[in-house]
Amino acid sequence: MQIYPIKFDPILKEKPWGGSKLNTLLHKKASDQPIGESWEISGLQGDETLVNNGRYRDRTLSSLIAQFGQELLGEKNYKRFGNEFPLLIKFLDAQSNLSVQVHPDDTMAKALHNAKGKTEMWYVVDHEKDAEIIVGLDKTIHSTRVLADITKQNVYDVFNVEQVCKGDVYFIPAGEVHAIGAGVLAAEIQQTSDITYRVYDWDRVDAQGQKRALHIPQSIAATKQTHNTAKKKYANSGNGSTEVVSCPYFTTNVLAVNSTLERQYDTLDSFVILMCVEGEATITVHDQQEKIEMGTSILLPAQALQATFTSSKARFLEVYINSSM
């Protein structure tokens, strides 16, 4: 396999809660419609991203895995996931509140959908004043039966609501109720799954006056983490890497680059994803260079054993799978 920083054409998704920041701040080629999600790297059937640079231009991610297997994913990852890419990488722009929702774990998703569950994390790229998120139930709530009776009048009493700051990281395991609030621009890293159970959708209606479906019985059955502390504390590094999330599905570091930084990946046995969430940088891998700017995501094959970053100021999410967990 030729080793270089692989870039993809994102898939842009219209959402009733979406806005324009994916275009204006992250330079996506979006339409005038409200765009809520940019799927940066996806192997999900029906929504596969295409390579837009280098030797593998116009190839799907799945076709690369089918040809190169462990050279791309890593030996243990390939044994574990086969030809399925295990992560889905997104940017989200919430002009209005996302639905309050919950995702099933692997066991429930397998039984009901023959699919994977959805554990995820958010990194707050930008936000408007007083922007909030919902993570878990309020500490006074001790029964998931309350999810059957959410209204405009009680929604802020039932859920734990937190104001966000730029750079905040939230880890959302499968089974935790959550929602990104209006004014938040976030990077999202998740298992490859598109299963969502909606608990409450703010009484929104479409152009035909119809509300989106809710999934109350499934939501009650799926909710496991009622009062989990989702926010992850970390210290910013001046020129280096800081681990912020580590779970069996992915490990994410915040990588700050303020000059030249070399990263060694020879012991990972995993692909590496880099999401630029601030500034811009040049990345050199096997003498192949790519410029990456805020809003750009790249994939380094598992055979990329080292990368050099050069920037006066940039920040990345550095994502891989720790196969020892």
Torsion of CA 145, 148, 150, 151, to 10 degrees: -140
| End-to-end Cα separation, the chain, in angstroms | 27
Q: How many Cα atoms are found within 13 Å in the side-chain-facing hemisphere of 247?
A: 18
Q: Which residues contact 15 (CB under 8 A, 6 or more apart)?
A: 34, 35, 36, 37
Q: Active site residue: 198, 204, 212, 315, which one?
A: 198
The letter for the amino acid at 155 is V
Q: 198 catalytic, yes or no? A: yes
How far is it, in rounded angstroms, from Cα 277 to Cα 314? 8
**Would you please indicate which residues are annotated as catalytic (active-site) residues?**
198
